[in-house]
Structure 1
Amino acid sequence: MSAEKLPHGCHHPAGPACAAGRPDHHPAPASPPAPAVNPIPLAAALLVLVGLAVWVFDAHGAKPGVLLLLGAGLGFTLFHSRFGFTGAWRQLVGVGNGAGLRAHALLLGTSATLFALIIGTGTGLFGAKPAPSAGSLGVALVLGSFLFGVGMQLGGACASGTLFAVGSGQSSILVTLVGFIVGSTLYTWQYSLVDNLPSFQPFLLSDHVGWFGSWAITIAALAVVVWVSLAVQRRRNPPPVGSVPTARGVLRVVRGSWPLWAGALVLSFLGAGVLLVSGGAWGVTSAFGLWGAKILRALGGHPENWSYWRQPASAASLTGPVLTDKNSLTDIGIMVGAAVAAAAGGVWTLHRHIPARTALAGLLGGVLLGIGARLAGGCNIGAYLAGIASGSLSGWVWGLAALAGTWVGLRLRPLFGLTNPKPTDSVC
């Protein structure tokens, strides 16, 4: 989820400093103070958020309005915690720093607990009937998540990371978003070619051991992940990861860098809120295909004739307003919420110079992200997070295949002038 470049060129702290006694060890630098607030971007971001929320509540009702606000909360949290999937996996595969993966485990475990409580009891708001996310097990899942892992490392961000990076003014990631939309649109155009790839039916733990059993097995599996990440980190002894600007004291909530554990917990509860309100888990990438189809229609194209958009649910989304689509609402909310957070932190700025090779990597990575997410039935949020939290085997398969794609993506990055973490250098 991490963007390739964060404000002031730093990455969020992803773990403890190197083990003491290492000859070339240097502790992670202290976080610099947050810069002064630039009132113009902050006022503009707040105006957009308030105006859009008023419009959605008035035009479409409370449920879409609440989803928009939940998305804004997600964007605010993603930015302040710089909660990473792309960067966390890059650190894990590149130098053995597993702190980001352990933050994932906290996010997944808390989400699994909340999902079990909500879905297991049938609790929902606005008449929603919460349901688990379970993907089919087959070629499309493995291939799609592998391509997604490659695309993350070339594009510099995943699905939610792309949105919060764009919202915070990182124009280089805007290229990734464009590629994401293009890739998603290409998938819907050629949907008939991949619709019937070999697969098995979804496997949900709750169908076999109930919701308590599903929760217990998921927590036990996540504990193993944490243990393995600690063992790898001790063996490889990774360097520290640098800090980002932050305010101190209570102002850190709105003008600072949050600990990864705080981001994981807040994201878990906001994601559970999406499940309560909509009946489905938080997702991101299906909206990109919808946006691409809407753009094509506006330009005179006819995506409604494609087999993907002739499916009843897809056809209803295509003909309906964007601001009634669940994932579009949370996606837009994430971008606006991240803009508010970045402006409040004094770090919202547009990066005007984008090297040609970086732009090419972003575009190619975005296309792979779009195709991969649609093939796999979701991204790091809709397939990985929601799948594991739901007790679905598909979420675990997605994570393993995406890690393999990360390994390949790290080896492709130098071709585009992109750097990888090194065993002897801190990242800042």
Structure 2
Amino acid sequence: MTQKKAGPSNPKSSAPTLKDPQNMLFISGILAVLIITYFAFQASGFEFMLLFWTGVLIGFALFHAHFGFAAVYRQIVETGNTEMLRAHMLMLGIAATLFAPILMFDINAFSNTTEGALSPITFGVVIGAFLFGFGMEMGSGIAPASFYEEKGGRTAMIFTLFGFLTGAVIGAYHFGFWNEALPSAPEISLAEDTGLGHLGAWGMQSAIFALVIILSYAYKKRKRPPLLPASPTAVGWRKIIFGSWPLWVGALVLAVLNAAVFIIQGEPWKLTAAFTLWGSKLLMNLGIDVTQWEYWIAEERIRALLAPAMMDSVSVLNFGVILGAFLSLTLSGMVRFSKIPPRFALLALAGGLLMGYGATISFGANIGAYFSGIASFSLHAWIWAVMAIMGVYAAYMVAKKLKLVSK
């Protein structure tokens, strides 16, 4: 295949402009933020209130930096573009740099037990990450990038979200088989279980991040893949609130905010656990007893299942992320839905189902297993990343074989 050369010398000049703010939706979002802020404070004082507002800032940053956790894999496989890959390496490097002292000195704001995103190495991690990557290539509406995709992207997101929620609950039902019945290894911290220490583990991971960046630049120089498409933007100071940020800014802000989450709640940002919890709570309200599932045997999980959602820190944080992204969308006039072909809807639904199922049985997804896991020096996170990329590649090759893609 002939590689496309870099696009125009100044791609920002052709960037699409943003639409007018959707004022009524924005006001509704502000009211929702104020209401949840009140209930978060009632539930746990300043801890949950700070956690919720940190989530709002994360959602805001995800949108404005157009920082796709799923898109980075697809871009490498589909177009060969490595720009976002380098931003990911920067984000992971900054996050690991911030996480190391938090773990070393048990830094926390509210006397919580400081625990990194460590998980055991199981068949669930291997199979689940692969399924997640495969589903992500099919229909990645759960990724932040889908919040601003055109041509029905937000309509497809609804199907993907529903599929993700359903898959997460099914994954919880099967969790015991993948992670308890089959052979497994305990969680391994590259810092604490290898003799490297946090400084040594940080140095080793930093070297990997730097190597990936160097190799990606060499690849870019040799292959000259197409640039990322221009993002909707604004000019002047309005760019901060309404426009698109450089990827390196998004990497920096997200790493700092994840560290803030770590300090506030004693564990880094996780996303999938919230969907698994919400879906299981829905089943309980329908009269289905999920408390006997292996996933909910753990004391911390069952406590969250039986308590109101506002008493769960993971839920409170992700309510903030969702509302932060929603407010950003309304300010940019991008809460718009359009009709999509049934095949597109089915692919989005099936992709979401695989993503939710895979994420639950593998202890997380792009956030909890990849972002927070690697920053926490967990070996399982590196295995997860490799298997997820393999899943993306497998799905792309299948789609190409079936002529579902033009590349």
Q: TM-score, normalised by structure 2?
A: 0.91
Aligned to 2:239: 252
Change (3 A) 1:289 1:81: same
Change (3 A) 1:299 1:382: same
**Could you tell me how far apart the structure 2 residues matched to 1:226 and 1:354 are?**
37
Aligned to 1:198: 183
Asked if 1:99 corresponds to 2:86, the answer is: no
Which shows bigger deviation, 337-346 or 306-315?
306-315
Aligned with residue 128 of structure 2, among 144, 147, 169: 144
Aligned to 1:369: 355
Aligned with residue 260 of structure 2, among 249, 258, 273: 273
Change (3 A) 1:344 1:31: same
**Could you tell me how far apart the structure 2 residues matched to 1:364 and 1:286 are?**
20
Asked if 1:80 corresponds to 2:67, the answer is: no
**Could you tell me how far apart the structure 2 residues matched to 1:298 and 1:352 are?**
32
Deviation at 1:201, TM superposition (A): 2.4
Asked if 1:241 corresponds to 2:228, the answer is: yes
Residue by residue, what CA displacement relative to the aligned partner does 1:207-240 show, whole Å, maximum 9, x if unpaired? 1122111111111110011122222222322112
Asked if 1:31 corresponds to 2:15, the answer is: yes
Structure 2 counterparts to residues 198-237 of structure 1, below 5 A: 198-207=183-192, 208-237=195-224
**Could you tell me how far apart the structure 2 residues matched to 1:161 and 1:244 are?**
11
Asked if 1:326 corresponds to 2:313, the answer is: yes
Structure 2 counterparts to residues 404-415 of structure 1, below 5 A: 404-413=390-399
Deviation at 1:381, TM superposition (A): 0.9
Answer yes or no: is the 8 Å Cα contact 1:78–1:164 preserved in 2: no
Deviation at 1:171, TM superposition (A): 2.8
Deviation at 1:414, TM superposition (A): 5.9
Q: CA RMSD in A?
A: 2.3
Deviation at 1:63, TM superposition (A): 1.5
Answer yes or no: is the 8 Å Cα contact 1:158–1:380 preserved in 2: no
Aligned to 1:126: 110
Deviation at 1:252, TM superposition (A): 0.7
Answer yes or no: is the 8 Å Cα contact 1:45–1:340 preserved in 2: yes
**Could you tell me how far apart the structure 1 residues matched to 2:356 and 2:394 are?**
18
Residue by residue, what CA displacement relative to the aligned partner does 1:112-158 show, whole Å, maximum 9, x if unpaired? 00001211121101112322222222322111111111111112245
Answer yes or no: is the 8 Å Cα contact 2:162–2:349 preserved in 1: yes
Deviation at 1:385, TM superposition (A): 1.1
Q: Could you list the runs of 5+ residues in structure 2 that have no partner in the other structure?
A: none
Deviation at 1:306, TM superposition (A): 2.6
Answer yes or no: is the 8 Å Cα contact 1:31–1:243 preserved in 2: yes
**Could you tell me how far apart the structure 2 residues matched to 1:311 and 1:109 are?**
32
Aligned to 1:314: 301
**Could you tell me how far apart the structure 2 residues matched to 1:415 and 1:174 are?**
27
Residue by residue, what CA displacement relative to the aligned partner does 1:149-179 show, whole Å, maximum 9, x if unpaired? 11111122455557898xx992321111111
Deviation at 1:36, TM superposition (A): 2.2
Q: Could you list the runs of 5+ residues in structure 1 that have no partner in the other structure?
A: 1-16, 20-24, 423-428
Aligned with residue 55 of structure 1, among 39, 56, 63: 39
Structure 2 counterparts to residues 3-22 of structure 1, below 5 A: 18-19=5-6
Query: Percent of pairs identical after alignment?
Result: 35
State the SS of the aligned residue for 2:109: coil
State the SS of the aligned residue for 1:304: coil
